[in-house]
């Protein structure tokens, strides 16, 4: 599993774009929204 940390203040549109891109490549995206940042756990073979 890899982790993507979005920049502080990333928009919902930016988040959707990243999730769509990951899913189009066969990965599962597990989004976790925090108080200041959003992180995405990327599940799948990233080697």
Q: Give 2-45 pLDDT, tens digit per residue.
A: 999 999 999 999 999 999 999 999 999 999 999 999 999 999 99
State the Cα–Cα distance between residues 13 and 28, nearest whole angstrom. Answer: 18
Q: How far apart are alpha carbons 23 and 43 in whole angstroms?
A: 10
Q: Parse the chain into domains and list their residue ranges.
A: 2-33
Q: What is the pTM of this model?
A: 0.87
- Give every CB contact of residue 46 below 8 A, 6+ residues apart in sequence: 1, 2, 27
């Amino acid at each position: 599993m890899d982790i993507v940390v979005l920049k502080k203040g990333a928009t919902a549109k930016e988040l959707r774009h990243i999730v769509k891109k990951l899913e189009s490549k066969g990965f599962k995206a597990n989004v976790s929204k925090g108080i200041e940042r959003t992180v995405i756990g990327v599940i799948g073979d990233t080697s």
